[in-house]
Amino acid sequence: MKNKLLKITTISLLASSMLLASGWRIPEQSSSSTALSGAYVANANGADSSYYNPANMSFNEDNCFLDISFTYINLPSITYKDSVNPAFNAKSKNENFYVPTIFLTSKNYSGFRYGLSITAPGGLSKRWDSVYQKASAQEFSLKVIELNPVISYSVNSKLSVGGGLRAIYSDGVVKSDASGLGTDVQRNLKGDTVEFGYNLALSYKPTKESNIALTYRSNVNIKEEGNAKLYLNGTKVYDGGASVKVPLPAVLALAVSYVFNQKTTVELEYDRTYWSKYKQLDFNYKSAIPAILVPNFDNPIPRNWKDTNAFRIGLTHQYSDKLKLLAGFAIDKSPAPNSSLGFELPDSDAKLYSLGFEYQLNKKMKIGLSYLYDSKDKRTVHNRTSPTSVAPDGTFSDGGAHLLTASFKYRF
């Protein structure tokens, strides 16, 4: 029984730290981006160009622009159907979040423009109340906030370059409870960090109607540091510092846009996320843990994630002087191989569908509203290596996300 207890504890702890490793990317940060399924690099304009393509700030009108967006995110319950034991069938909790973002760009100063964005480019939350699933994933929550000051320089009327500093703050909470499996094992982990990276951008306008853009956001190695508490049979066996180092991966985006009839803009975007930086998980403790736990808790665990590609298309149509209509579609791949998939992040390939509008109230103010549906594919994995292990051996379905974003834009 003791070995079984330790095995369950080990598996649940290692799986839980995936919270700090997954870095669930959220490309949609503004109303325009949400409406276009993230196809908003070559055609980025106004205040949110400071985040999506700072080189495009050079092509903005000679004003300061402010964009305040507010996104409601709903993560529906994920259905899990076990292929071996129907008693393990379950649904995760429904999750709801409210995320504000801010974008700002300056006027032209001798060819230079300045910008700032405060965004939430990644995050994760998954909670299970069911006995089997909460043994490894009672709660997984990750928050990522990015402060990104940027600058652009207009080389000439057709070419602009830009870049900036990424200041990343993240924190997470991990809880698990295996007592429902006949054992008394709980875990509570908390950690946070501040790390730095950079981003670069280039835009070239061969004609007035077209734009070719290339952007790059650097990898940021995130070292989450905090406190871990482990309980075994009601006794606290560890209470001290813990850390794990994982990548927030680099993203390269190539996009082209073209304006037809001075009213309709089409953008095609390809982006590649370099998840292959995440090769293994190595959890470290700042003080000694019981010797019997060392072989399991301190050994690096292979993850072997893969780089992923996303393909996006966005359509923007100026319906009238005041009303702009937007729509988008994207295909996005999951980085996790079947062997790495657990209850903490049952991710899968996705298709994105979106639409929205922007309405000009007067010469200085606009409002926008957009909606995006992220439809996840079903995914079947067989990771349960023994009857005592806590891992999926079945099919996940009904996953996805709903995003509703409202924005207020101001020119001054």
73 pLDDT higher than 60? yes
Instruction: Specify the pairing of strand 264-273 against strand 235-248.
Output: unpaired
**Euclidean distance between CA atoms 369 and 388, whole angstroms:** 49
**pLDDT score at 236:** 85
Please give the average per-residue pLDDT across 216-242, as a whole number: 86
**pLDDT score at 211:** 98
Structure-token pair, residue 169 = 């703050």
pLDDT tier, 149 (very low <50, low <70, confident <90, very high otherwise): very high
The residues near 235 (Cβ < 8 Å, ≥ 6 apart) are none
**pLDDT score at 15:** 34
19 pLDDT higher than 90? no
Please give the average per-residue pLDDT across 383-395, as a whole number: 88
**pLDDT score at 10:** 34
Please report which helix (H) or strand (E) contains residue 31, including its range: helix 31-35
320 pLDDT higher than 80? yes
Residue 15 — φ and ψ, nearest 5°? -65, -40
**pLDDT score at 292:** 56
Amino acid occupying residue 44: A
132-136, 182-186, 405-409: least confident range = 182-186
Token look-up 């995003």 returns 403
Other CB atoms within a 10 A radius of the CB of residue 191 amount to: 24
Please give the average per-residue pLDDT across 323-333, as a whole number: 96
What is the phi-psi region of residue 289: left when phi exceeds 0, alpha when psi lies from -120 to 50, beta otherwise? beta
Greater model confidence, 24 or 323: 323
| DSSP annotation of 93 | P
pLDDT tier, 12 (very low <50, low <70, confident <90, very high otherwise): very low
Q: What is the pTM of this model?
A: 0.88
Other CB atoms within a 10 A radius of the CB of residue 262 amount to: 9
**pLDDT score at 342:** 84
- Which segments within 17-60 are labelled E, that is strand? none
123 pLDDT higher than 80? no
Structure-token pair, residue 393 = 């051996």
204 pLDDT higher than 70? yes
Structure-token pair, residue 383 = 């990771």
